[in-house]
Amino acid sequence: MQSAMETVMRHAAAGRGTDAEELRYSVEIFHNPALPAWFRVQMGIIAALEAANLYPGGLDYSLLYGAETIALLEKLTDRGVSQQAAEHALTAFDGAIRRIASLALTNALLPGSLGLAEETGKRIAVLEGLVEEAARSGGKADDELSGRIMEVVGSMTASFRSVHAVVSPQIDALVALHDRGRGLLLTRRLESRTDLSALRAAHPELAADFEELTGRLEAGDGAAAGRARLEGLRTSERLDELIARIKSQPGFAQFLGWLSPDQLRAMASQGPIVVLNHAKELPCVAFIVTTDEISALHLKDVKAQEVTDAARRLSRAIEAIYARGRLRPRVSGLLAARDEITEILDWAWHRIVEPVLDRIGYLEPVQPGAEWPRVWWIPTGPFNAIPLQAAMCKAADCTEGQHGSTLDCVVSSFVPGFQTLAHARARAARGPGVRGGERDSAPHALIVSEPDDVLPGAVSAARFAADALGADTVLVGSDADLATVLSALENSQWVQIGCHAHSSPDRPAGSWIQLPSGEALSVPDICRIRPDSARLAVLTACGTARSAERLSDEAVHVTSAFLLAGYPEAVGTLWEVESTQIESFLRGFYARALDGTATTAHAVHHAVRELRDTISDRPHVWAAYIHAGS
């Protein structure tokens, strides 16, 4: 089955048309209830891909089959299934959703590009005429003539811009579908954390049932087999029935519903939200959501393979810089690794960030005293590994495009998807919970740190944070065992964890934090925490926003796990940062975050700018920090 899907994808990538006959065959299989559901899902994906490849008019069918397939898949991803099995299935599926999006868009963009070629041809003919005229006048173009030439050149640039991005109701539907498809796994984790106050007031018995069932599923063992597995399956089915019953009550049709294009636009009220779509062998596309519109921006200079390569090059350069002992490269090797990072930041600026900021009108540096605009990034696939928030042109005389950097134009935040962002904002708006104190009283803080002989400088960074926060609980070394940390996490508003983080392709449940006790604090562990009054998790653990390459699709890394658990915001790092460097970031960060003058995102932003200004030649330190969440 996999190979059939691959064949269609190869056809699609090669731009070969799909026969309408083949499409009808796939649709027939998709609708055949006698066939196994997983098989039907695969055929639904193929139908959506085939339809996207039909030109013209295939986009509507592609959206239809995509939506029907996701609806079928939702029924399949029961909550009793193990985290591993769900992630495996959904990772494959997520890649397909990203392909459908890119393919459909390429076809939506194609008519525009053809029109552009014709239009450009006409303008070039006019331009040639004008240049000939100028030549006849002895090379001295008078003001009137040069004015006409500039006008034609200007109109060519304008037409390039207008076709470069596409806005249409189909794009709206596509972006909503994209988030729904990508969010299948993540949103299952959010269900039990839904705000039930409205339901509790109107239908207390339904709210109680909902809490009981979600609580039972959460308590269940993810790796259960046999009878326990069957029990989980039945509970999941009962929850589906209950959700359907709740939705049928007047006023609750939207309960646990998917976000509509209108809701997506409304979410951009604090700043644009940018989805970077990555699909193998297809053009990369940025979906840009503002309060006015949802547009698809064709990142025409970015090949999908380039993004994958950049992520790998970056990871190798970072590894070389932080290597110790016999593995440590010579000085020339270290300098080459730094140059490599600078090159990747330059590439990320010109090819990805510059066109996006140009489109939303944030390409100019923010002047002193002016308000900083905010942008939320939703990277998919290997885009997750690219430090978009730190992208910058390498030299003032660079000829690639406009000289500039993300850090001079916008405050960046990262989220794995719209659903998670909505969840994080709802948590932030709720304020401290019943167990928490007042917002302005000293926050209940938990600090976890490795001892200095494991991570040099970690204890000093922990003590600094403990003083700044007036922390009640500081766990260093063997005191920081799993049970103690988990229980402290439930009751803390602020958390700072300074340990190593790991991700392994052999552990599909994503990444984990290696606690000082030697135990692993895994992504599923973090997702099960039910914090009551959580505000912020500062994860100076190394590489907390890194996900296993194979599973980067759903981006379930340590930083987003804290968002799913109910922390509205988190600070993480894209890769390992030398522990002795962490305190200088924390000083800059806490000085701003705690005096009430800056939001967490602004505090991270300005602390990183300060680092960049003092150690500009060490991007392996300052380009790692990110803000995630609301």
Rule CB under 5 A: say whether 400 interacts with Zn ion. Answer: yes
CA dist 49 and 68 (Å) reads 13
State the pairing for strand pair 374-379/273-277: parallel
Write out the E strands in 163-269. 165-167
| Rounded least distance, CB 404 to Zn ion, Å | 9
Stretch near Zn ion under the rule CB under 5 A, chosen from 36-44, 339-347, 457-465, 467-475: 339-347
| Cβ proximity to Zn ion, 307 vs 462, nearer residue | 307
Dihedral, CA atoms, 307, 313, 315, 319, nearest 10 degrees? 180
| Rounded least distance, CB 350 to Zn ion, Å | 6
Q: For residues 5-64, which are near Zn ion according to CB under 5 A?
A: none
User: Other CB atoms closer than 10 Å to residue 118's CB: what's the count?
Assistant: 9
> Which burial class, exposed, middle or buried, applies to 549 when counting CB atoms under 10 A from its CB (0-12, 13-18, 19+)?
middle
Those residues with Cβ within 8 angstroms of residue 407's Cβ, 6 or more apart along the chain or in another chain: 389, 390, 392, 605, 608, 609, 612
| Rounded least distance, CB 337 to Zn ion, Å | 19
Check if the beta carbon of residue 43 is closer than 8 Å to that of residue 83.
no
Stretch near Zn ion under the rule CB under 5 A, chosen from 302-310, 316-324, 345-353, 452-460: 345-353
| Rounded least distance, CB 301 to Zn ion, Å | 13
User: Other CB atoms closer than 10 Å to residue 314's CB: what's the count?
Assistant: 25
> Which burial class, exposed, middle or buried, applies to 413 when counting CB atoms under 10 A from its CB (0-12, 13-18, 19+)?
buried
Binding mask 250-269 for Zn ion (x = CB under 5 A): --------------------
Stretch near Zn ion under the rule CB under 5 A, chosen from 137-145, 280-288, 338-346, 598-606: 338-346
Rule CB under 5 A: say whether 363 interacts with Zn ion. Answer: no
Nearest to 296 by CA among 116, 148, 173: 173
| Cβ proximity to Zn ion, 405 vs 419, nearer residue | 405
Stretch near Zn ion under the rule CB under 5 A, chosen from 12-20, 335-343, 399-407, 490-498: 399-407
3-class state of residue 497 by DSSP: strand
When binding is defined by CB under 5 A, the residue of 363, 398, 428, 482 that contacts Zn ion is: 398
| Cβ proximity to Zn ion, 64 vs 363, nearer residue | 363
3-class state of residue 295 by DSSP: strand
| Cβ proximity to Zn ion, 59 vs 341, nearer residue | 341
| Cβ proximity to Zn ion, 74 vs 400, nearer residue | 400
CA dist 164 and 113 (Å) reads 8
| Rounded least distance, CB 349 to Zn ion, Å | 6
Nearest to 181 by CA among 423, 523, 420, 417: 417
| Rounded least distance, CB 285 to Zn ion, Å | 23
Check if the beta carbon of residue 203 is closer than 8 Å to that of residue 249.
yes
Rule CB under 5 A: say whether 346 interacts with Zn ion. Answer: yes
Binding mask 219-238 for Zn ion (x = CB under 5 A): --------------------
Nearest to 493 by CA among 429, 548, 441: 441
When binding is defined by CB under 5 A, the residue of 393, 407, 489, 624 that contacts Zn ion is: 393
The one-character DSSP state at 349 is I
CA dist 97 and 278 (Å) reads 10
Determine the residue type at 184. Answer: L
| Cβ proximity to Zn ion, 40 vs 350, nearer residue | 350
Check if the beta carbon of residue 515 is closer than 8 Å to that of residue 482.
yes
Rule CB under 5 A: say whether 454 interacts with Zn ion. Answer: no
Nearest to 433 by CA among 352, 345, 347, 530: 530
| Cβ proximity to Zn ion, 393 vs 601, nearer residue | 393
Rule CB under 5 A: say whether 352 interacts with Zn ion. Answer: no
| Cβ proximity to Zn ion, 393 vs 446, nearer residue | 393
Stretch near Zn ion under the rule CB under 5 A, chosen from 12-20, 145-153, 390-398, 616-624: 390-398
Question: CA of 335: how far to CAs of 340, 349, 370, 374, 612, in Å?
Answer: 9, 21, 37, 33, 17
Binding mask 472-501 for Zn ion (x = CB under 5 A): ------------------------------
Stretch near Zn ion under the rule CB under 5 A, chosen from 396-404, 458-466, 549-557, 573-581: 396-404
Check if the beta carbon of residue 503 is closer than 8 Å to that of residue 405.
no
How many residues line the site for Zn ion (CB under 5 A)?
A: 4
| Rounded least distance, CB 396 to Zn ion, Å | 9
| Rounded least distance, CB 347 to Zn ion, Å | 9
| Rounded least distance, CB 113 to Zn ion, Å | 26
| Rounded least distance, CB 391 to Zn ion, Å | 10
Stretch near Zn ion under the rule CB under 5 A, chosen from 28-36, 74-82, 322-330, 398-406: 398-406
Element (H, E) at 411: strand 411-414
Those residues with Cβ within 8 angstroms of residue 49's Cβ, 6 or more apart along the chain or in another chain: 5, 8, 9, 12, 62, 96, 99, 100, 103
Stretch near Zn ion under the rule CB under 5 A, chosen from 8-16, 91-99, 290-298, 400-408: 400-408
| Cβ proximity to Zn ion, 30 vs 349, nearer residue | 349
Residues that bind Zn ion (CB under 5 A): 346, 393, 398, 400
